[in-house]
Amino acid sequence: MADHYKPFEPLVKRIKEDGKCLNGGILKVDSFINHQIDPTLLQAMSIEFVRRFATKEINKIITIEASGIAPAIMVGFLLNVPVVFVKKKKPSTMAGMYSTEVFSFTKNRAYTVCCSKEFLNEGDKVLFIDDFLANGNAAKGIIELTKQAKAELVGMGFIVEKSFQQGGSYLRNEGYQVESLAIIDSLDNCQIKFKEN
């Protein structure tokens, strides 16, 4: 786990007020992050991501549809760089593409995700932004796609990380800069317990 973790207090406060815990280790934040979006909170979180990755050279933001799109677009807007979202279904109009398989913890199923070779290029310096980090499966898929493209994955930003699942530990041990705005240590007995700084 990152020693320098500092919770983003406006998000932690909002999760305490409006987040809901469901059985099976699921944190429901659909009233302000991934179904209905609070644009003011989204902007504040995106500014925080820009601050945390300020030392990195970034020329593209990447995410996987659908819940990562809103924060990725806001970060791309603030950095004035394009946003590429990896698709869960291959469009009939996509010719050359990179693809890999990703398992979704929330949906409990595997997806083949793809990205057009037109939009992810050799030498790109990409920042991955997503809503949740649990087992790290989406991130592993992004790692694979960037390797296929010979692009450089300069960091990963997550709104919420579940530290009781192993994704964050794995990615940090692999040497990636992982920035999570709120880290949940436990959802046992449907009690939301945050990692302190």
Mean pLDDT by 10 residues, the chain (197 residues): 77 95 88 93 98 98 93 98 91 84 81 93 98 94 97 98 94 97 93 87
pLDDT at residue 2 in the model: 45
Whole-structure pTM value: 0.93
Q: By the 8 A CB rule, do 145 and 115 touch?
A: yes
> Domain span at residue 89?
2-194
pLDDT computed for residue 149 by the predictor: 97
Binding site members: 27, 34, 134-138, 162
Tally the domains of the chain: 1
Q: Residues annotated as binding site for xanthine?
A: 27, 34, 162
| Residues placed in the known binding site for 5-phospho-alpha-D-ribose 1-diphosphate | 134-138
CATH assignment of the domain containing 154: 3.40.50.2020
Q: How many CB atoms lie within 10 A of CB 66?
A: 12
Q: What was the pLDDT predicted at 53? A: 98
Residue 25 pLDDT? 79
Contacts of 146 (CB under 8 A, 6+ apart): 62, 120, 124, 126, 152, 153
Write the CA distances from 68 to 17, 64, 111, 187, integer angstroms.
Answer: 22, 6, 16, 22
